[in-house]
Structure 1
Amino acid sequence: MLLKKENGWKQESVDKVRVFDFCKEYKISLDKGKTEREYVRYAIEIAEKNGFVKAETKEQLVPGDKVFYVNREKNVVLAVIGENPITEGLNYVVSHIDSPRIDLKQNPLYEELELAYMKTHYYGGIKKYQWASIPLSLHGVVILANGEKKDIIIGEGEDDPVFTIPDLLPHLAAKFQGERKTGEVIKGEELQIIVGTIPTKIKNSDVKELIKYAVLEELNKAYGMIEEDFISAEFQLVPAFKAKDVGLDRSLIGAYGQDDRICAYTSLKAILDLDGIPKKTAVTFLADKEETGSNGSTGLQSNYLEYFTSDLINRVKGNYSDLDLRKALWNSNALSSDVNAAMDPIFKGVHEAQNAAKLNYGIVVTKFTGSRGKSSTNDADAEYVWSIRNLLNKNGIIWQTGELGRVDEGGGGTVAMFLAQVGIKTIDVGPALLAMHSPFEVSSKLDIYETYRTYKVFFEDMV
């Protein structure tokens, strides 16, 4: 056949019941893991239930062994040791588990006009106005003055209070907001949450801000916090609502954080569901900090990939050399498993239709990302693109190609270039989303399932 295949739901081989059943647990994973730390805990929990153990508990690794690594509670790596010598390369599927959100500032709490507010700093690329006037939950960790660590989630329980960033009413917004550019309808410093209005009952002349003090009393009572503890805390505000089916036919999923936990979940499930021992050692790597450039010790620009790969080599071979690491990386394959932008008929002008991804057309193979003149991209070579194309066709995967918008429209990056920098053959392969980076991103159930199938056959058949 000379032409591309029809879109996914028109394929006779699609099993709707299997697709829908697979996506039920995916929605649960989104609700359980709204932050990096939470998703790492979720991944470890299901990994251990499937026979994975901490790598440091196994002095010697042999084919079929299942191990995991954890980096600072924000990265998790799952590996299944393959039959081939490890220096002949590994098969990596690398996703990120951070998502755009609102973080609390280190000194957030203040009182004005008998209202207590907390100041924030947004994380990643967001449309700031989308985060106003919606229910937000507070997730995070705080290290108290005595060194005790407390995990905190407020706003997810049925009876929990939530938080919100109040917007300006339309009756008074015509001049104040109406003359602003879209990106500044709500400005960064205006992203502030209401946290209380009732003053403390304490009688103390040193306490001037009674409502602020009452908020601190609540935090102290529940978690033992004092105001200074905000300095050693990580608090994130995320949408308080749960993942939901979208549409009368329930074919879509709407939820926060699908970029990129849609790939995190499917790559996690793929390695858990491996049939037998793979030829090459299989690795699912869930990373952090992609939304801010993959920086820091938990991002792909750190050397953590080289660290755990070196450790795997040492435990498999019983010894290690830098040359072994370089050989292993240079002989490896990777899927940078990240999302693409689905073309929306309402805003199709930002896309070039012939090279745009669409919902329900399967997983998207993205040869290059970057922006405008392909800056900050990997741009996979033709040989590797063919090998992925061949793998997908051979296994009956429903797939498409995609590009992140028109040439001069904008663009974006992934972790692909950081994998390629150490010599790993890499390409971006993941599903498409509508409303990417919004508090309620939309995905296709069929595309999710084809993404899972892709990662699984990549681990099983890619050599």
Structure 2
Amino acid sequence: MTKQDFNEGLLGFLDASPTPFHATQNMAGMFSNAGFIELNEKEKWNLEAGEKYFVTRNDSSIIAFTYPKNSKEYLMVGSHTDSPNLKLKPNPVVKEHGIVKFAVEPYGGLLLNPWFDRNLGLAGRVNYSDSSKAVKSALINIDKSIAMIPSLAIHLDDKANQDRTINRQTDISPVISCNEDFDFEIFIKNELAKMGIKDVEELYAHELSLYDTQNASYIGVEDEFIASARLDNLLSCYVGMLSICSIPNDKPMLFVANDHEEVGSDSTSGAGGSFLESTLKRMFTDFDDYVAMARSSMMISADNAHAIHPNYPSKHEPNHAPYINDGIVIKINANQRYASNSTTISTFLANAKRLEAQTQTFVTRSDLGCGSTIGPITATKIGIETIDIGLPTWGMHSIREMAGSDDAYELYNILVGFNI
């Protein structure tokens, strides 16, 4: 696969995955097309050596794995499907001052300022009853600009460029209509009908998020960068997905993409839940085999890393400030916010050197807070040696982030050629 083919596929995946539900659906489709067999957690598994499988939970998390059966040295790659965004509240419609707005709640630690004056679409999961009273669910993606959060004019806020703050309750409600007869349930039913789902009696609940309708694209005079929403962490999801699809069936590898990392991972489908652990225990039913596998394997927790910002270089640790398009970033933190240790770092570096791949090191400034990943959580729950790595990016948690057009392809080549 060429870098251009890789990146074109990445842009398409980003545009087609406005929510964790859609990302998981798209990855499941990719795995099915690549010959992976779908499993159901509610059913008995009869795994056969030499096959490859995938399983989803909550429609928003996914695990795929090869099954050599007797091999216990697995390379595992972990990522997350969720990104900071604005979610609709359960009763989302607000009608006042002659317009209709959506009431929203920030999800995760998002940068709010860039959400103003953007064309916003709506996507997610809805649950409803049909005429037989059965409860069903469907994914919807209203891929058009239905909303915008207008800024307050500079004339009405003369300190906007000095010390403007944003009230998360009152300042970020998107405007959607002037029609005060707008009915949210009818609106959703109409959208479902456009998808061919017409037997909808009552809308019960929804998990819907606003998203920027601007497509992912190349940036730079020589296309050096990629700009898109949700690079954190669909970038790693895409790399992990393609990597496991590219290796032979007899190579032991597992890929997991969890939901809810941005809010702490404590959910049934998050890394703090049982999804990965229960999957591994069904793969290795003998406890001794399970422990031997966990202690013989390695987890690469792949998330984004802060590239040195050319306009704010003082925000970075001088000797540990990664550059975009200059190699994969190894993330280290003395207080275990990242799970990297000298053993896993050395294993990764040895593979990178063998594959002639560049690497960099990130350590946050000691006077700034440090984010975390699924790495320490997975290492704690499974007992697997783990390294946290990342792709260098700017604008993390903004509505539109930037990364290099070389780095994701570089990580793909490392993962495909990796030996524990």
TM-score, structure 2 as length reference? 0.91
Q: Structure 1 residues 227, 433: CA separation in 2 closer, same or farther (over 3 Å shift)?
A: farther
Q: Structure 1 residues 251, 66: CA separation in 2 closer, same or farther (over 3 Å shift)?
A: same
> What is the CA-CA distance between 1:44 and the residue it aligns to?
1.1
* Letter in structure 1 aligned against 2:90: Q
* Letter in structure 1 aligned against 2:2: R
> What is the CA-CA distance between 1:222 and the residue it aligns to?
4.0
Aligned length: 407
Q: Aligned equivalents of 1:216 and 1:393: distance in 2?
A: 56
Q: Partner residue of 1:232?
A: 205
Answer yes or no: is the 8 Å Cα contact 1:126–1:438 preserved in 2: yes
Q: Aligned equivalents of 2:31 and 2:104: distance in 1?
A: 34
Q: Aligned equivalents of 1:325 and 1:431: distance in 2?
A: 31
Task: Tell me which of 258, 267, 276 is aligned to 1:296.
Answer: 267
Q: Aligned equivalents of 2:362 and 2:225: distance in 1?
A: 19
Q: Partner residue of 2:311?
A: 346
Q: Partner residue of 2:332?
A: 367
Q: Partner residue of 2:282?
A: 311
Task: Tell me which of 125, 146, 151 is aligned to 2:109.
Answer: 125
Q: Structure 1 residues 215, 306: CA separation in 2 closer, same or farther (over 3 Å shift)?
A: closer
Q: Partner residue of 1:457?
A: 417
Q: Aligned equivalents of 1:419 and 1:221: distance in 2?
A: 42
Instruction: Give a deviation string over 1:95-133, Cα, whole Å, max 9, x none.
Output: 111011110001111211121111000111112121111
Instruction: Give a deviation string over 1:226-282, Cα, whole Å, max 9, x none.
Output: 9983x611110111111010011111100000111111101111110114621xx20
Q: Partner residue of 1:356?
A: 321
Q: Partner residue of 1:11?
A: none
* Letter in structure 2 aligned against 1:249: E
Answer yes or no: is the 8 Å Cα contact 1:162–1:240 preserved in 2: no
> What is the CA-CA distance between 1:377 and the residue it aligns to?
1.8
Determine which structure has more spread, i.e. the larger CA radius of gyration.
1
Where in structure 2 are the equivalents of 1:148-163 lying within 5 Å? Answer: 148-154=136-142, 156=143, 160-163=144-147
Q: Aligned equivalents of 1:20 and 1:41: distance in 2?
A: 24
Answer yes or no: is the 8 Å Cα contact 2:119–2:145 preserved in 1: no
Q: Structure 1 residues 452, 101: CA separation in 2 closer, same or farther (over 3 Å shift)?
A: same
Q: Aligned equivalents of 2:337 and 2:320: distance in 1?
A: 17
Partner SS for 1:286: strand
Instruction: Give a deviation string over 1:353-409, Cα, whole Å, max 9, x none.
Output: 3211110111111133xxxxx445244331221111111101111222222x31112
Answer yes or no: is the 8 Å Cα contact 2:232–2:303 preserved in 1: yes
Q: Structure 1 residues 227, 194: CA separation in 2 closer, same or farther (over 3 Å shift)?
A: farther
> What is the CA-CA distance between 1:212 and the residue it aligns to?
4.3
Instruction: Give a deviation string over 1:168-191, Cα, whole Å, max 9, x none.
Output: 11110125x5675x5x33534322
Q: Structure 1 residues 394, 137: CA separation in 2 closer, same or farther (over 3 Å shift)?
A: same
Q: Unaligned 5+ residue runs, structure 2? A: 193-197
Partner SS for 2:222: coil
Q: Aligned equivalents of 1:226 and 1:58: distance in 2?
A: 34
Q: Partner residue of 1:3?
A: none
Q: Partner residue of 2:255?
A: 284
> What is the CA-CA distance between 1:195 and the residue it aligns to?
1.9
Q: Aligned equivalents of 2:181 and 2:158: distance in 1?
A: 32
Q: Partner residue of 1:59?
A: 46
Task: Tell me which of 373, 378, 382 is aligned to 1:414.
Answer: 373
Where in structure 2 are the equivalents of 1:117-266 lying within 5 Å? Answer: 117-146=101-130, 147-154=135-142, 156=143, 160-174=144-158, 180=163, 184-198=165-179, 211-213=180-182, 217-223=186-192, 229=203, 232-266=205-239
- Identity among equivalent positions (%) equals 22
Answer yes or no: is the 8 Å Cα contact 1:253–1:445 preserved in 2: yes
> What is the CA-CA distance between 1:328 and the residue it aligns to?
2.1
Q: Unaligned 5+ residue runs, structure 1? A: 1-16, 199-210, 314-319, 369-373
Answer yes or no: is the 8 Å Cα contact 1:121–1:189 preserved in 2: no
